[in-house]
Structure formats: C-alpha cells, structure tokens
Structure 1
Amino acid sequence: MGENYLHGTIKPEEAGIAMMMKDLYTNFNSPLTNETLCAWHDMLFNGRTDLERGQYRTSNDEMRVVSGRIDKPKIHFIAPPAFKIQKEMDQFISWFNRTAPGGKEQLSPLIRAGIAHLYFVTIHPFEDGNGRISRALTEKALSQNLGKPTLVALSSTISDKKKDYYTILELQNKNNQITPWLFYFGKTVIEAQKQTIKLVDFVIAKAKFFDAYGALLNPRQKKAVLRIFKEGPKGFSGGFSAKNYISIVKTTSATATRDLKDLVNKEIFSKTGKLKSTRYELDLKPFYPTISIDSAEKKQTNLTKK
C-alpha cells in the first residue's frame, strides 16, 4: 500500500506517523472503514518489513497485552483470536459510524471517543500499533463532533503516566462497568488539550526567540539552544549545565565558560546555583502570551469563589 518515504533526514517511522495524521486531519469527517484503518497501519509502519503491514493480524499465536519486564511480564488482557478479528472489526466500524454526528445512535463527543478507544484496543486487531491507531481514532471522533480537525496531545499525556493507563485498562477488562474508564479518559483528554495549548505557545515562543536572538548566537550557542528546545515545554531534564554544553557542542571547558557567560550577559540564559550545581535556563518569558492557561484557570477559580 504505502511507499518508503524517507523525507530527507526524517526517520521512516516518524514520516509514517506524519502521513497517518495528515490523512486523519484531511479526511476526519469521512466514515470509518476497514480500508482506512489498514491504510493508517501501513503508513504508521512505513519502511518496516518485520510485521504484517496494512492488514489485520493473521497469526494463530495468542495476542497478549503486557507491560513490565520481558522475563516477568504483567498480562493485562488476552485479545480475541485472529479468526474473529474481521467480524469484530466490522461490528466496531458499524458502531463508530452509527454513533457519529448525524448517525442513528449519536453519542456525546467524550463518551464516544472514550468508548471507541477502549473498544478498539480490546479487539487489538493489528500485530502492533494498536495504541497509536486507537489514539488517532480518538482524534477522529472528537474532530467529527467539533466539525474541524483537533490537535490533542493524547499520546504524550498517556505516556507521561503510562502506569495509570495500563492499570485502568486492566481493571476495565475485569468487568463490564465502563464508567471508571470514561472518567479517566475524559480527564486525560482535557489534560491533553491543556498540554497541546502549552506546546503551541512553546513553538510560537521558539520562533519569536530566534527572531530576537538568532543573530546574536554563535554556531556553538545555537546548537546548544536547539538541543534545549528539543526537550519541549518541560525543559532540559535535570537542568542544563556546563557539562551538558561541552558534551553537546564538543568544545573545551574554557570555551563553554565564555559562551555561557555571554548568554547570561545577553539575558538569553538565566543562571541558578553555584559551582557544580550551576544550571542554565532559556529565558522565554518575554515570548509567551500574557495570559497563560494556568493563570487563566486561577482567575476562573477566583471568580467562582466570589
């Protein structure tokens, strides 16, 4: 189905995810089909030859969803056997389309998206990639209800608390009561939306930062700054030190000291701590929106109290 797009220096798997999401956002309002899901799977594993790409699993081996150590895995549930997959997926797709806006059994956005996610991963139709495709289905469901593509950082939000995700999945598969899952899912989607807004603000701040300071950075400083930005809104894990700078730009201690002092003097970096505990942080405050999500929420809370 797909082609082995390399997109320059972008890894095939990253290009595959981009292709899948482009298709999702372009065709979010179209009905779901088996062909759509298989095409997503083919895109997702762009360049891979070690698994069944673009088709539901066919192996008779038992499909288990596990976590933990390889030598001591924790089994969360066992998926339906391969010979039942097509029937299960036909029923799932029919349900998904019936519950869409304008469908015969229309559901509210979060409930529909939450059920779709759980329903799909429980069938576990593909050899690999079921979690990523279930999150894409979540975005499709939400986009259909909103009437436009929606950006939700669901994958990263779940990854931040992956243990909670697997715990609630395991509990859900021990009974037929779906309310705890929907409660968890709703909170996670809301948190993911907040993270998305923070990420968008961060990307805008990054662009404004380079507009303001790009010409003031030497090649070493620019390389270090780009590496810090790569960490995203959460910042550099453990704080950014002179040792990090030396390692990233491959320079001497004396040069690193001069470069870092220059960045602090230009107020590009702020400095905290002393000696080995010294850490540096990009000062992005001037480039962020005046009212952040957190400050807006605090204002709402204060108004509610009044």
Structure 2
Amino acid sequence: MKWNWQRAGWPNFSYDATVLAPLESQFLLRSGEFIGAYRHISPDERDQLRIELISDEALKTSAIEGEMLNRDSLQSSLRKQFGIAGDTHHVPPRERGIAEMMVSLYRDFGAPLTHEALFAWHKMVMADARRIETIGAYRTHADPMQVVSGSFGNQKIHYEAPPSSQIPAQMEDFLIWFAASSPGGKQPLPALTRAGIAHIYFESIHPFEDGNGRIGRAISEKVLAQSLGQPSLILLSYTIERGRKLYYDMLESSSRDIHITEWLLYFGQMILEAQENTVNRINFYIAKAHFFDRFGSRLNERQRKAILRMFREGLDGFKGGLSAENYISITKASRATATRDLQGLTEMGAFSRTGERRYTRYHLVLE
C-alpha cells in the first residue's frame, strides 16, 4: 500500500475549491457572530471566559490522545501565565506544559511558524514524558514511525510516516508552504482550506516521536487565528473529541492519497461546528452571569455549591437533569434538607422540575 507521501506530486495536495467555497463564506459569517457575542462580555468577565475556553481546548486535545488532565490544575496554570490573581495550587508538569503551549498559541498566533517554535511546543507537550528519547527535536530513530492498534502479534497498521532521515527536509518544505499560504504570503489560501491542509500535511509527516496530534491541532488553530487577525478561541479539539472515531477514520483514509477534497469538507464542517459550539459556550457563560444576578443573593451555600457543579458541566450539562441523589452527593445534605433546598430552588424559579418521585429531575432555568 502506498501512503500519500510516497505518491507522485507529494506534497502538492489537490482538491475541488468550488465545493469548499460555501463553507469558507459561512466561516467568515460565523466569525462575525463570535466577535459580536464576545463583545457583550465585560473585560473582567472576558478573562475568566478566556481561561475556560482555553482550558476546555487543552483538556480535549489531550483527551483525544487518551490523556486525562486535571481541570483545576490546568486553570490554575493558565491564570498564572495570564497574570490573573489566583491560588498557589501546585501544578503538575502535564497540566503546566499543555497550558504553556495553549498560551503561546494564544499570544503568538501571528508569529511565523518555525522549527524552533515547534520544538518549544513539543517540550511543553512532553513536559512529563518519560518513554520517548527525543524531546524538543524531530525524531531520529531508525525504526518505522507507525500508527498501530491491536495487541502484539495482531496489530493493524493504520499509517506509516516518512522515515526519520527525511524529516528535516519534509518539515522545511512544510514551513515554507505554511508561510506562503498565510494571509500575507505569496500564495494565500482561504482559512478552512489552509487549516485542513496544514493538519493533514503535518500529521502525514509525523515529525515527532509523540505529541503530533496535539501540535497538529494547535497548528490548525493558529491558521484560523491568523485568518481572523486575532486569537480564535475556537473549540476545535472540544468538537473533534465528540466525534473522535470519525476524526481518526478520516485521517487514516486521507493519508493514502494527495486528493483531499473529502478530508477538507470533513475538516471544514468540523470547524464550523466548533464555531457554533464556541458561540454557544459564550452565550452559556452570559446566561450563567445573568442567573447569579437574579438568584445569587437568595441561595444558601449548599444550593450555590450544587449549581456551580451543574454549571461546571458546561454545554453538555447534567445528562437528564439533577436528581435528589446527585444533590445529596454534591452537598452532603440530609435527604430532608435536600428536599427543602430543591423545593426552594423550584419555587424561586431557578430550577424547573420534571418527572415524579424517584424519576424527579431538576434543570437550570437560563435566560
């Protein structure tokens, strides 16, 4: 089987630009919606929202690779790096490293992409790595770089990347293409097209021993920010993680050819969905602020604790609503106290109620 980098014409990907044009137009329209929604938030609230959006991305880009991070540690690291007063929480290397990469992506989105920038990102992503030889540089091992699954002796090869000896030249070509295709480059490309090509191009080279997925998605987010002229704060990894299997299937099928219209359609639609999720996240944040403006002074500590826990679930919320058992678990209240608290929340209009008896569930009432 031939991989894309083994085909004549690599890395000159081909695609049908006319099919992508409607998606590109929709991206620009939704970008305006995001900017409009974001401006409805006060500067102080923007700081917290920025932390929440970036931490969501950091958590999900790691989760796609099967790595579960601690949200509190991650947000603590982000607050410190943005100079926002916070706690003195000890931050483990994994959370600190991915937070550093996300802040670098946010602050330096307009800077050229260089070997040195990629090496710095790799050091951040691999801050707690103990099982790889080369950190902060491209791979040099002689063994084939393969993406495999299955148990030993029954493994399936999903992809084999170029040998390590080719990586310096391949990455030099990638960075030249990246600069040329930028908004101010010699051959600028539309945002979604460039983001999709950048991702499949980088992932096909697979230049590092590990961390390629996280860095590849960061590169796509850098593309989107450059197209907008400001940090995008787009929930791309958050959206990809929801359909992780399809993401990996599309990467695998698209790694066999240099004609990538189908890949670009998939990735472009994923970005549009991520934009919608981002705007919904902003509106959710605004609704949260309005909720506490209306009810904050009337909540006791148990009620506040339970509601904050519900808001922490974000857009997905408590599946099926909050039960009395959930409330007791969160607040450590007795059943009688929980019943009074929940009844009070319903009477003041903070909660709506569905179901009866043990099937009773409570839902936040948001504007």
Which TM bucket (shorter chain)?
0.7 to 0.9
Q: Is the 8 A contact 1:76 1:169 kept in 2?
A: no
- Paired AA for residue 108 in structure 2: N
> 3-state SS of the aligned residue for 2:363?
strand
1:136-165: CA deviation from partner (whole Å, max 9, x where unpaired):
111211222222221211101111111111
> 3-state SS of the aligned residue for 2:311?
helix
**Correspondence for 2:295:** 213
For the structure 1 residues 223 and 27, does the alpha-carbon distance in structure 2 shift closer, same or farther, using more than 3 Å as the test? same
Structure 2: distance between partners of 1:256 and 1:80: 60
Q: Is the 8 A contact 1:100 1:106 kept in 2?
A: yes
Find the partner of 1:138 among 220, 224, 227.
Answer: 220
**Correspondence for 2:107:** 26
Q: CA deviation at 1:106?
A: 1.8
For the structure 1 residues 120 and 258, does the alpha-carbon distance in structure 2 shift closer, same or farther, using more than 3 Å as the test? same
For the structure 1 residues 226 and 36, does the alpha-carbon distance in structure 2 shift closer, same or farther, using more than 3 Å as the test? same
Q: CA deviation at 1:102?
A: 2.3
Q: CA deviation at 1:89?
A: 1.3
1:221-243: CA deviation from partner (whole Å, max 9, x where unpaired):
12211111111112112422111
> 3-state SS of the aligned residue for 1:234?
coil
**Correspondence for 2:345:** 263
Structure 2: distance between partners of 1:129 and 1:210: 40
Find the partner of 1:115 among 193, 197, 210.
Answer: 197
Structure 1: distance between partners of 2:126 and 2:289: 31
- Paired AA for residue 17 in structure 1: I
Structure 1: distance between partners of 2:101 and 2:270: 22
User: Mapping of 1:122-271 within 5 angstroms?
Assistant: 122-271=204-353
Find the partner of 1:17 among 98, 105, 119.
Answer: 98
Structure 2: distance between partners of 1:228 and 1:66: 38
**Correspondence for 2:176:** 94
Bigger shift: residues 143-152 or 157-166: 143-152
Does 2:185 align with 1:103? yes
> 3-state SS of the aligned residue for 1:232?
coil
Q: CA deviation at 1:267?
A: 1.1
> 3-state SS of the aligned residue for 1:233?
coil
Q: CA deviation at 1:265?
A: 1.3
For the structure 1 residues 269 and 125, does the alpha-carbon distance in structure 2 shift closer, same or farther, using more than 3 Å as the test? same
- Paired AA for residue 172 in structure 2: D
> 3-state SS of the aligned residue for 2:352?
strand
For the structure 1 residues 127 and 227, does the alpha-carbon distance in structure 2 shift closer, same or farther, using more than 3 Å as the test? farther
- Paired AA for residue 284 in structure 2: F
Q: Is the 8 A contact 2:200 2:255 kept in 1?
A: no
> 3-state SS of the aligned residue for 2:198?
helix
Q: Is the 8 A contact 1:92 1:120 kept in 2?
A: yes
- Percentage of pairs with the same residue: 51
Structure 2: distance between partners of 1:204 and 1:59: 50
Q: CA deviation at 1:99?
A: 1.2
> 3-state SS of the aligned residue for 2:315?
helix
Q: CA deviation at 1:272?
A: 0.4
1:18-68: CA deviation from partner (whole Å, max 9, x where unpaired):
32222222221121101111112222344444444322233444333346x
1:200-251: CA deviation from partner (whole Å, max 9, x where unpaired):
1112222222233222222221221111111111211242211111112222
User: Where in structure 2 are there 5+ consecutive unaligned residues?
Assistant: 1-75, 81-87
Q: How large is the Cα RMSD of the aligned pairs?
A: 2.3
TM-score (norm 1): 0.84
Structure 2: distance between partners of 1:251 and 1:95: 60
For the structure 1 residues 147 and 262, does the alpha-carbon distance in structure 2 shift closer, same or farther, using more than 3 Å as the test? same
Q: Is the 8 A contact 1:39 1:54 kept in 2?
A: yes
TM-score (norm 2): 0.70
> 3-state SS of the aligned residue for 1:214?
helix
